[in-house]
Amino acid sequence: MSKTILLIDDDLDDTEIFEEALTEINPAILFYKAENGQDAFNKLQGKEVGQPDIIFLDVNMPGMNGWQFLTKLKTEAAYHNIPVIMYSTSSAKKDIAIAEDLGAVGFLTKPADYKGLKKALLLLLAQTSPDGLRQSVEDIKKMEWYS
């Protein structure tokens, strides 16, 4: 069975690279994108996206940012069980702590290169549970190529 992935990120270059990596990994993955939190909620509530298996969420976006989206998502009964991985250029400990407090399963700094992104996605897409995702995020952070 194919996974459904939602990426919420306002950076078009990062979004295109992410989509390209997913397509190379598995063309059957259903990929949806939103440019900010409000756009994502509109797509979720309009049933355009359905129920994603994983949401990758940037922190800094115009309109509804990542923190606002995550807070709202975790209070909505229909969506609170969707695993969210924060996916940002930030690596600040404060941001990582906020993500954990708000219910994200992990926090990944965007890999510096395409090869690293593909490796990270391969590990994450192999998981089927929030605990598995959480462990994979921690494993990725320990790998030599991750920076």
Closest CA to 61 of 79, 39, 45: 39
Delineate the domains of the chain, giving CATH numbers in brackets. 4-142 (3.40.50.2300)
Residue 147 is predicted with a pLDDT of: 56
Residue 1 is predicted with a pLDDT of: 56
Instruction: Read off the pTM.
Output: 0.94
Distance in angstroms (rounded) separating the CA atoms of residues 129 and 135: 10
Low-confidence ranges of the chain (pLDDT < 70): 1, 145-147
Distance in angstroms (rounded) separating the CA atoms of residues 26 and 20: 10
Residue 12, beta-bridge partner list: none
